[in-house]
Chain A
Amino acid sequence: MTRQVLMGNEAIGRGIVECGCSVAASYPGTPASEILEAVVAFARETGRGMHVEWSVNEKVAYEVALAASYTGKRAAVAMKQVGLNVASDPFMRSAYLGVKGGLLLVSADDPGPHSSQTEQDSRFFAMFAKIPVLDPSSPREAKEMVALAFALSEAYEIPVMLRPTTRVCHARQAVPLLAPTGEKRTAHFEKNPKRWCATPGFVLGLHRELTVKIERLAADPRLAPVFFPGDGTRPRACIIASGVAFAHTWDVLDELGPAGAVDRFQVTAPYPLATEFIERVHAAYDRILVVEETYPVIEMQLADRRIAGRVSRFVPNEGELTPEVIRNVVGKFLGLPAAAPAAGARPAGARPTLCAGCGHRAAYYAISRTFPRGIFPGDIGCYTLGMNLGAVDTVHCMGAGISQAAGFYHAYAHDGGEVPTIVATIGDSTFFHSGIPALVNASFQKARIIVVILDNATTAMTGHQPTPQLGVTASGERGRAVSIRDLVLASGISFVREADAYDVERFAALLKEADRHCRSAEGGVAVIIASSPCVLTDSGRARASQPVRITEECTGCRECLDMFECPALVWDEDTGTVGIRQAACTQCGVCLAVCPVQAIVVESQAAE
C-alpha cells in the first residue's frame, strides 16, 4: 500500500474521492479551504469523473450536495464552522428528511480561534440537528472517518458530519492511499412529496423516525469509544478525550510514564454518545476527566456531576487545548505536583498586514483620508486588515458590512441632523457570498451609503480560489462569468463606477462624487468597484512598475508608516527617516501620493 504525506484537508479530500463521491461542493474558509482543492487534484489524478464546485456560499453548497444525494449518488460538502451557520437552514431540515446516497458534511472547527470570528463547536450543531458527528484526532483518522461517514449515512439515510479542527486540517502525516471504488451510480430521483416536500403535517413523523435513527446509532458498535486500559493502579479513574485533544492527551500521558498509566477512552463519535459507554462510565468510574474541544458536548451527554471538565471549570472553557493546558489539567487530575509556571510575558509577534503593493491599501488610504469622520463597516477577507489603516470600523460576518452600513445610516438619519459619510467595503468573493441580498435591501430601503467593492479577482485570504466573475470553475474549466457591475445595476442602483484604486488622487475624487450622490435629492446607494488584481497572482504581478526611492527630504513624520503601513517601507532607527526594502517593494508607486513632503520620488527622476 502506498503512503503519502498529506495535510489533514488533503487526506479528507482523498477520502472523498476514494469513496466514489460524485458531487463535492464547498466555499473556502480557513481551516477548511484545502479540502475541495484536494478533491479536484485527486479526482484528476485517479481519473474519477466528478462535479466539483466552489459554490457562492455554504448554504448553496449544502443544497447542491443534498439534492445530488437524493439521486442516490454520494455527495460531500465542506466548510469552516461559521460556514455552517450560513448553511444551517438546509442543514437542520436535512436531518429530518434524511438522504439517499451518502451525504458527508465536513465542518472544520478552529479552537483558539486562529482565523475565525468564533471558536464555536460544530459537534453541538450536530447534536442540535440530531445527526451523528465524527471527531478525528489525526489526518490518517480523518480519512478513515470519511469512509465510515459515507457508510453510516447510507445505512441510516442521514447526513453525517466529520468535524476536524485546525490541528487536524493543517497537520501533515503519512497517510495510506487506496484506489477509488470502481462502483458507478446513475442518478435516479424517486419522487416522494411526503418526504422531500414534507409539509408540517409530515414533519412530526419524520422527527420520530429521526429519533429512532439516533437511538440506533447510539447502539452501533462502529460509534463506540475506543478503550485503552491503564495499569490498574487507579481502577476508578479514567480520562475521556476526543479529536486532536485526545492525541495531545496521549502524548502528555506518555511523558508521565507509569504515573500516566490510567484508563483512557477515545470518543470517535461525540454525538450520539454510545449508550452502553455512558452506562459503563457511570458504573465503573468515580473520577472522570473529559478533555474535548471546544464545548462540553461529551461531558453534557454523560450528565454526571462528578466529571472534571468544562462544566465544572476544571478544564478552561475557552481557547485551544494545547499541550501546556492538557499537561496542567491531567497533572491536576492525577494529583501530580504542579509544573513551574511559565516565564514572564512574551512579545506578541508581528501583526499581519496587507501585502506590499496590495490595491486594497491604496483604496483604504483614500477612504480614510477623504472622510476623516466617516463610519467604515468592513467585511471578511484580507481586506479586514483595513482596520490597521483606520478604514475598517466593524467586522462581523460574511456580507454584514453592507447591511451594517445601511443600519448605521437609518439610525443616524432618524435623528434628522447631519449623517456621517458611511463607506462599506467588501471583497468580490464576499459580495457573491452574501453581499448581494444586503445590497438589494440597502438599495430599496433607500440607505444613503457608499459601497466599495474591492475586486481583486480572487478569494485571496484562503489561497486564491476563483470567484464567479472570472467564469472559471474549481476544476479550472470555463464556467459562465457573472458580472458584478450588472448585478449592482440590477439592484436599482444608478451610481456605479469602476475605478483603479492605485490612482489615489482620482479615487479620492470619485469617493467625493459618490458622497455627493448619496446626499443629493435622488441619492441612494453609490457603488464603486475598485479593481486591482491580487499581487500574489500572475495578473496582479503584471502591473506596470514604478520604482521609487526616498530622498533626503524625508522628515521622519511617519505618515507612510502609520497611515499607509506598506511592509516595503521601513523605519531607520539610526537616521530617524524612512527607507525602502527593495526586495519587498512591488513598485506600485502608490506611496508617491502618500508622502506629505514629496520625499518619495520615482527612481528615474532621482537619478537625473
Chain B
Amino acid sequence: MRQRIVISGRGGQGVLTLTRVVAEAAAAAGHEVITTETHGMAQRGGTVLSTVKVGPFHGPLVGSGDAEVGLFLHADNLPVHGHYLRPNGVAVVNGSGAVGGDAVDADRLAAQVGQPKAANLALLGYAAAKGALFAGPDLFEATIRQIAPAKHLGGNLAAFRAGVEASR
C-alpha cells in the first residue's frame, strides 16, 4: 500500500484532528505511516496543510503532483493546494455546488447532527465510504472510538456516519 494524502483547511477546522485519525488508522491497519502538520500562527484561521504518507516512505512532505488523495475542508483551498494532486488524484471537497472535485457539504451534514465543529469527520466518512482512502469506513470508525475524548465520542461518530450515509 502506498498512498499520499494532503489535508487542507483553515486553522480551527480540525485539520490536526483529521490528520491524527488518518495516521492512527493507517498504523492500526499495520501500515507504515508518516505525517506532518501546521502549527503556530497559521492555526489562527490561516490556511493550513497536513500531509499523510502511507507506505514505505521516509520523509513526511508530499511533493507537488504526488498526492493520490486530497481532503479539502475549505473549497477556497482547492486552488491553493490542488497542485499537490497527481493528474488522476482524487479531491474530496467540503462545499456545495460546482466547487471542483468530489464535493460534499460536510458543514451542513455535521450541523444537521448537531455537531457543527465535526465537519472534518463528516468529510472523512464521506471520503472513506467513497473508496478514496486506503481503507473503508470501519477502520476509521474504530480509530475514532479509540482516540476521541469520551465527551466528544458520540458527536464525532454521528458526524462521521453522516458523511458515510451521504456517500450512498
Contact = CB atoms under 8 A, between A and B. Distances in A.
B168 interface: no
Scoring B32, B61, B76 by chain A CB atoms within 10 A of each residue's CB, the highest score goes to: B61
Contact of B33 (A174, A349, A350, A351): A174
Given A170-B36, A346-B80, A349-B77, A384 B46 contact: no
A597 interface: no
A30 interface: yes
Interface stretch (B19-27, B90-98, B133-141, B153-161): B19-27
A266 to B, nearest CB: 10
B44 A343 contact: no
Contacts of B41: 30, 115, 352, 382, 384-385, 461
B46 A248 contact: no
A350 B46 contact: yes
Contact of A5 (B27, B66, B76, B77): B27
Interface string B51-65: 000000111111110
Nearest to B34: A173
Contact of A114 (B34, B42, B57, B61): B42
Q: Which of B32, B47, B63, B111: most chain A CB closer than 10 A?
A: B63
A591 to B, nearest CB: 17
A171 B63 contact: no
B105 interface: no
B35 interface: yes
Given A172-B35, A346-B80, A461-B40, A323 B61 contact: yes
A547 B88 CA distance: 47
Contacts of B44: 352-355, 382, 385, 461
A251 B80 contact: no
Given A167-B59, A323-B63, A347-B80, A5 B45 contact: no
A172 B58 contact: no
Contacts of B45: 350, 352-353, 355, 567
Interface string B1-36: 000000000111000000110011001000011111
Contact of A347 (B42, B79, B111): B79
B72 to A, nearest CB: 12
A401 interface: no
Given A172-B23, A382-B44, A350 B59 contact: no
Contacts of A354: 44
Contacts of A353: 44-46
A323 B61 CA distance: 7
A445 interface: no
Given A5-B24, A173-B34, A346 B79 contact: yes
A513 to B, nearest CB: 31
Contacts of B77: 349
A564 B96 CA distance: 29
A350 B58 contact: no
A342 interface: yes
Interface string A330-374: 000000000000110011111111110000000000000000000
B35 A31 contact: no
A30 to B, nearest CB: 4
B152 interface: no
B16 to A, nearest CB: 9
Nearest to A325: B63
Interface residues of B, number: 41
A459 interface: no
Interface in B129-155: none
A249 B61 CA distance: 11
Contacts of B20: 5, 172
Given A115-B42, A347-B80, A250 B23 contact: no
B42 A346 contact: no
A251 B116 CA distance: 39
A590 to B, nearest CB: 17
A171 B57 CA distance: 13
Nearest to B82: A346
B58 A248 contact: yes
Contacts of A249: 59
Interface in A361-412: 382, 384-385
Given A31-B39, A137-B58, A248-B58, A322 B63 contact: yes
B33 A5 contact: yes
A240 to B, nearest CB: 16
A352 B35 contact: no
B102 interface: no
A348 B10 CA distance: 13
A246 B61 CA distance: 12
Nearest to A350: B47
22 contacts: A31-B40, A114-B39, A115-B41, A167-B59, A170-B39, A172-B19, A173-B34, A173-B35, A244-B60, A250-B59, A251-B59, A324-B63, A324-B64, A342-B64, A343-B83, A346-B79, A346-B83, A348-B47, A349-B81, A351-B46, A382-B44, A567-B45
- Which 9 pairs, one residue from A and one from B, show the smallest C-beta to C-beta distance? A115-B40, A349-B47, A352-B46, A323-B63, A247-B59, A248-B59, A30-B40, A247-B58, A352-B44
Interface of B: 10-12, 19-20, 23-24, 27, 32-47, 57-64, 66, 76-77, 79-81, 83, 111, 116
Given A249-B59, A382-B44, A461-B44, 14 more contacts: A5-B20, A33-B39, A114-B40, A137-B58, A167-B36, A172-B20, A246-B58, A323-B63, A323-B64, A323-B66, A349-B77, A352-B41, A355-B45, A463-B39
